[in-house]
Amino acid sequence: MFTGSIVALITPMDQKGNICRTSLKKLIDYHVASGTQAIVSVGTTGESVTLSYKEHAEVVMMTLDMADGRIPIIAGTGANATSEAIFLTKCFANSGIAACLTVTPYYNRPTQEGLYQHFKAIAESTNLPQILYNVPLRTGCDILPETVARLAEIKNIIGIKEATGNLSRFSQIQTLVNDDFILISGDDATALDSMQLGSKGVISVTANIAAPEMVSLCKLALLGDFAQARQLNKRLMYLHQMLFCEPNPIPVKWVAKRKGLIIQDTLRLPMTPLTEEGQLKVTQALINSNIG
């Protein structure tokens, strides 16, 4: 189930900052039609840190309802307090959610033992499959391969979204875990290379606005056709990079509005609209990639 192009879905908002149901439905339909393998709802790209817990749960359940069984929904359930992550996880018990994606605790910077105990406590609080999420650049916290291996022994911790951009991590983790533990890239720019090293796909920001292209890229790579995959990835590379020219999800929301996928590109403070300089960079990336 958790292979190929999985979108880290943006959370669309209206001009007042309220959740936009119309845009959310349009995004979901776009991904179903494009063949996206799964949707991560209210992960970090979905602005989880500026949504209240009530909104967080409502958006995930809204996404699940609108998907109507057409595509698996993974719920973002991370928090920097273990009790809060457990609370969010329990919100989705018996809901039909396919799995939870749980980011490492941000700001706290716990020890490796602290990380182990954090994820262990969350996993033991639920029967839902758990996917670890490692993104040290955003959290200030890095879960090391040896700790991943310890956690992989817990039956419902089934994989990791590895977003360090350090390709050696995939090989390091592979040597320490069983073959059924799922490795997924969390970095679009290195996703293809990660699949050559054994990852099963990517949880993608780029897929928000280039879903068919990311589906094709992953299919080619997973079939072993790296020559064609590399040609496609070469076309997308500047876009992968420029979608992070300002903090995610600022650029990708701007593009999504431009493409008509969402009505407004509203963000909540402290996130601010894409600057004119950023708009020029992203526009050029769209031209280069032939995304439009």
Residues flagged as binding site for pyruvate: 45, 203
Question: What is the C-alpha to C-alpha distance for residues 50 and 253, in angstroms, rounded to an integer?
Answer: 15
Question: What is the C-alpha to C-alpha distance for residues 128 and 98, in angstroms, rounded to an integer?
Answer: 7
Provide the H-helix boundaries in the chain.
21-34, 53-67, 82-90, 112-124, 136-139, 145-152, 168-174, 191-196, 211-222, 226-242, 250-258, 276-289
The answer to whether the CB of 181 falls within 8 A of the CB of 159 is: yes
**Each residue of 244-278: b (16+ CB within 10 Å) or e?**
bbbebbbbbbbbbbbeebbbbbbbeeebeebeeeb
Is residue 53 part of the annotated active site? The answer reads: no
Q: Mark the binding-site residues, compressed into ranges.
A: 45, 203
Question: What is the C-alpha to C-alpha distance for residues 284 and 127, in angstroms, rounded to an integer?
Answer: 46
Q: Which of 161, 219, 253, 257 is catalytic?
A: 161
Q: Could you check whether the bond before residue 270 is cis, i.e. omega within 30 degrees of 0?
A: yes
The answer to whether the CB of 81 falls within 8 A of the CB of 105 is: yes
Q: Could you check whether the bond before residue 249 is cis, i.e. omega within 30 degrees of 0?
A: yes
Q: Which of 16, 53, 107, 133 is catalytic?
A: 133
| Chain centre distance of CA 178 | 23
Is residue 133 part of the annotated active site? The answer reads: yes
Question: What is the C-alpha to C-alpha distance for residues 255 and 270, in angstroms, rounded to an integer?
Answer: 20
Nearest Cα neighbor of 111 from 137, 85, 142, 78 is 142
Helices 226-242 & 211-222, crossing angle to 10 degrees?
140
What residues are labeled active site? 133, 161
